[in-house]
Copies of this chain bind each other. A is one copy, B any other.
Amino acid sequence: MTSSPEAAPAGSAGLFDDVAFDVFARRCASRSALENITGRWGVLVLAALHDDTYRFNALRRRVDGVSEKMLAQTLHTLERDGFVVRTVQRQIPPRVEYSLTPLGRDTSAKLLELIGFLEHRMDEVVAARDGYDSARD
């Protein structure tokens, strides 16, 4: 195996010492990949695509608040990283569908777990916020 310039520096393995990538290292490729899937819109797009394939505007409606520009940009990034597949059906009007790769599906499963967990324990978060805020009016 040749050396990968994007991997973590040799000898600085992070959480898992059996892999060459370390998100804690600033320049490691896994850091940017993590940012892409946990980014503001990345998480939501991946989570949405876990259940269904979506067309652009349907996805835009599903991910409440995303602009056209950011949705397009997010989809490009996720496609480049191998999480999302873009399928074009030439016809009038054009029909473009977005779905997940196997990698994307496994990733979104993890994200869905996180989201489900968070939604189930949001009452604790809300309580913490209330306490924190009222403690310093």
- Give me the interface of A with B, judged by CB distance under 8 Å: 4, 6, 14-16, 19, 21-26, 29-30, 33-35, 37-40, 43-44, 47-48, 62-65, 79-82, 103, 106-107, 110-122, 124-129, 132-133
Q: A64-B25, A64-B26 are in contact. Are A124 and B110 (CB under 8 A)?
A: no
When A and B form their complex, which 8 residue pairs have the shortest distance between CB atoms, in order from nearest? A82-B128, A26-B65, A38-B38, A26-B64, A80-B132, A21-B119, A21-B122, A110-B114
Do the beta carbons of A115 and B33 come within 8 Å of each other?
no
List B contacts of A125 (CB < 8 A): 29-30, 33, 81-82, 103
Choice from B65, B80, B106, B133 contacting A128 with Cβ under 8 Å: B80
Give 16 A-B pairs besides A15-B119, A21-B122, A113-B113 with Cβ atoms closer than 8 angstroms: A6-B126, A15-B115, A23-B44, A23-B47, A24-B44, A24-B48, A29-B122, A29-B126, A30-B118, A34-B43, A34-B118, A35-B40, A38-B43, A103-B121, A106-B121, A110-B117
A107-B112 contact in complex given A64-B24, A82-B129, A132-B79, C-beta closer than 8 Å = no
